[in-house]
A and B are shown apart, each in its own frame.
Chain A
Amino acid sequence: MSFELIGNVLIAGVLSGLVYGLMALGLSVIFGVVRVVNFAHGEMMTAAMFAAVVLFNTWGIDPFMAVIPVVVVFFALGYLLQRAIINPFITRPEHSQFMLLVAVAIIMVNALLIAFGPNARNVQVDYQLESFELGPLLVDAARLYAAGAALVCSAAVFSFFRFTMTGKAIRACADNHMGAKVVGLDIRHLYALTFGLGSACVAAAGCMMVLLVDVTPQLGPAYTLMAFVIVIVGGLGSMPGALLGGILIGVSEAGAGLFITPSAKSMVSFALLVVVLLLRPQGLLGKRP
């Protein structure tokens, strides 16, 4: 097994991992604050991917530009979803939340099937097939751009939580729900904002993902599961953990594809998940619950 092969595969793993990380970041943000596990996460990303495809095919808007309108729309949708449907559920048991979001997921998958048909769609940007040569290594251009954009988006989310008043208020909510109520924070609004933000993350990830993957209505569940694996490994509720988890999953699947049979590479992610759950249930970067 040559150095080139390993190098190429590892680079691809890290780059894809960053995009996966951004997707999982949305899930992690929502769980960290609202404490609802979004079982319709992958479906939301699929919808965002379709949005990016439509914008590209109708007006020729590059997915990297499409991020802006798509993120805005998904933020609003996420806000409304939380306000209208999910909010009453935050005090209900997990299985009830699970049911609710599974129902939302079923509706989304099939609404997409009705709207776009069953075929795979993609965007044919002109840099789609380019790759850069770095000595003996080849780096896929679209993947590199997507990973870069994922980093930028994640940085924006981090700074929002660290530097803005609203971000701090949301963190306060997450740290101490009662305390936040006592000092007079509008919890409903903040929860809805958080859900909106989580949706915006996954929408941004969808816009990048559409450069790497063709979108079909059925794509959602696989990504929901992947997002779970990533956030559990990284630490549910931890933002850097989501990115780290994404990279870890990206790299370990790539490694498994090289050293074991590629068709079993997801087994490695699940094995990793089990190991992390057993040895460090809060995740690699998570705080003890």
Chain B
Amino acid sequence: MNTIEKTSLATLDVGVSDATEGGADAGRRRFVGAVGAAAIVSSSSLMRPAWAQSAKLKVGVLLPRSGVQAFVGQSCQFGADVAPAVLKSLFGVDIELMNADTETNVDTARSRAERLISEGAQVLVGAFDSGASLAIAQVAEQKGVPFVINIAAAPQITEQGYKFTFRNFPTSVDLVVNGLGLARDLFLATGTAPRTAVFMHVNDTFGQANKAAIASILPKLDYLPFKLLDTIAYDPAAKDLTVEVARAKATKADFLLLVCRLNDAIILRREMVKQRWNPMGIIGPGNPGMYEAQFYAALGKLSDHCISNVPWYDPKSVVTKAIDAQMRKQFPKEKLMYHALNVGFTFESIQIVADAFKRSRSNDPKVLAEAIRQTNIASRMMLGGPIKFNAKGQVEGIASACIQNFNQRPMVVLPAASAEAKPVFPVPGYVRA
């Protein structure tokens, strides 16, 4: 059956932002330990102690913290919540967060964006979902206020012609190119060559974009040893994947190429065990789901060995370490690795605007937008080249890492330079304890 967002009923909503002081906690700002000090030294090119600006940068953060996407929105929010303290200590930039909940609804997203701007937000970041992000992009465009998208993969976003919308997140095409490239590396590293795969994907905006990317790219890649036996699309709101898994199993494919979200990934993994289907492995070519806290909590040992080729933080980056430390402090119950991508890109979107603010020394949205266009940030959290926008406002060259689950936690297995463990493929079959 299908999702009906009844929370979105509550949407004639025309929000007043629930603006809150993001980094008001004075204690937070003094957290600079050895790590922070090291970071300051290493990124001294960014540090200009003489830099003094009277005002703070007001950053409007729009995330779906209630509604259907509540769990991702709340996960992304951690990245925003730690940003003021980390940016202050690492880069000496003062920002003030103005948080707003899009309620997973485009109308709300749009009017909240308007509200934030009218309350003085000088830049906007958000909003996880492609639809909500595009609604905000309309406002940003009309007001000439820069908007940096944290997560949203629909390739068209930066193809529609927006001048004030920037995206520091790979498009589906980039995701899939990286993901499939890592699949080859994985096969090389493990000395395997699966001949066949079955491709399952969730049929929503994200899944559809990924499917299109795979359909156009896969035939061109001559280095991959496998061919697709079948493509199975399933409903994002599916509660029961019996048929889907039965069909996939019947193809007798060597491994499962899976573009999923969280809840369906959980159902699917369980269903595979029930139907006693043990392919060589599950590989996600650039999608969320199999590295999230809930995946481990719901599946326990069953979560092990699933592989996700996704953008990931560099565990060795100073920024990562600072964020990890700040998260432990602000949210002792949460672990960075379970919110990796969400926190990473949300933080980076704020880092981008803070950096532009610092370089331009201006609060003026137009000047900020110009400064964002000139962004060149090397000291970043996520793997990949420096953050630089192309003419369309898209960052290119965001790398992915091959993440495999071991002992109910995600570990980087490729690229070898950042690896925390060795990849295992084919994966051992699930044995009941």
Q: In the complex they form, do A and B come into direct contact, defined as C-beta atoms under 8 angstroms apart? A: yes
Interface assignment of B362: CB less than 8 Å from any CB of chain A: no
Interface assignment of A212: CB less than 8 Å from any CB of chain B: yes
Interface assignment of B244: CB less than 8 Å from any CB of chain A: yes
Within 8 A of A (CB), among B227-241: 232-235, 237-241
Q: Which residues of chain A come closer than 8 Å to B74, judged between CB atoms? A: 117-118
Interface assignment of A120: CB less than 8 Å from any CB of chain B: yes
Q: How far is the CB of A111 from chain B (nearest CB, A)?
A: 11
Q: Are A212 and B250 in touch, CB under 8 angstroms? A: no
Q: Are A12 and B1 in touch, CB under 8 angstroms? A: no
Q: Are B9 and A120 in touch, CB under 8 angstroms? A: no
Interface assignment of B267: CB less than 8 Å from any CB of chain A: yes
Q: Are B7 and A109 in touch, CB under 8 angstroms? A: yes
Q: How many residues of B contact A (CB 8 A)?
A: 48
Q: How far is the CB of A59 from chain B (nearest CB, A)?
A: 19
Q: How far is the CB of A225 from chain B (nearest CB, A)?
A: 6
Q: Which of A85-93, A175-183, A234-242, A257-265 contacts B (4 or more CB under 8 A)?
A: A257-265
User: B7 — nearest CB in chain A belongs to which residue?
Assistant: A109
Q: Which of B108-116, B128-136, B273-281 contacts A (4 or more CB under 8 A)?
A: B273-281
Best-buried of B203, B234, B242, B293 by chain A (most CB within 10 Å):
B242
User: A249 — nearest CB in chain B belongs to which residue?
Assistant: B1
Q: How far is the CB of B278 from chain A (nearest CB, A)?
A: 13
Measured in the bound complex, the distance between the Cα atoms of B240 and A254 in whole Å is 10
Q: Are B276 and A138 in touch, CB under 8 angstroms? A: yes
Interface assignment of A128: CB less than 8 Å from any CB of chain B: yes
Q: Which of B47-55, B63-71, B191-199, B349-357 contacts A (4 or more CB under 8 A)?
A: B63-71
Measured in the bound complex, the distance between the Cα atoms of B274 and A16 in whole Å is 15
Best-buried of B6, B247, B273, B432 by chain A (most CB within 10 Å):
B6
Q: Of A43, A129, A212, A222, which contacts B237 at CB under 8 A? A: A222
Interface assignment of B376: CB less than 8 Å from any CB of chain A: no
Interface assignment of B266: CB less than 8 Å from any CB of chain A: yes
Contact with B along A1-13 (1 / 0, CB 8 A): 1101100110011
Measured in the bound complex, the distance between the Cα atoms of B238 and A16 in whole Å is 13
Within 8 A of B (CB), among A119-139: 119-122, 124, 128-131, 138
Q: How many residues of A contact B (CB 8 A)?
A: 55
Q: Which residues of chain A come closer than 8 Å to B73, judged between CB atoms? A: 118
Interface assignment of B270: CB less than 8 Å from any CB of chain A: yes
Q: Which residues of chain B come closer than 8 Å to A253, judged between CB atoms? A: 243
A257 touching B66 in the complex, CB below 8 Å, given contacts A5-B250, A131-B274, A269-B1: no
Q: Which residues of chain B come closer than 8 Å to A254, judged between CB atoms? A: 242-243
Interface assignment of A21: CB less than 8 Å from any CB of chain B: no
Measured in the bound complex, the distance between the Cα atoms of B9 and A105 in whole Å is 10
Binding site for B on A (CB under 8 A): 1-2, 4-5, 8-9, 12-13, 16, 43, 102, 105-106, 109-110, 113, 117-122, 124, 128-131, 138, 140, 212-214, 216-226, 229, 253-254, 257-258, 261-266, 269
Given contacts A117-B74, A262-B235, 20 further A-B contacts (CB under 8 A): A5-B246, A102-B6, A102-B9, A105-B6, A106-B7, A119-B71, A120-B266, A120-B294, A122-B266, A124-B300, A131-B276, A214-B266, A217-B70, A219-B239, A254-B242, A257-B242, A258-B246, A263-B203, A265-B235, A266-B235
Could you jot down 11 A-B contacts, CB within 8 Å? Answer: A2-B250, A5-B250, A16-B242, A43-B6, A122-B266, A129-B302, A218-B68, A222-B2, A262-B241, A262-B247, A263-B233
Binding site for A on B (CB under 8 A): 1-7, 9-10, 66-68, 70-71, 73-74, 203, 232-235, 237-244, 246-247, 250, 262-263, 266-267, 270, 273-276, 293-294, 297-298, 300, 302, 432
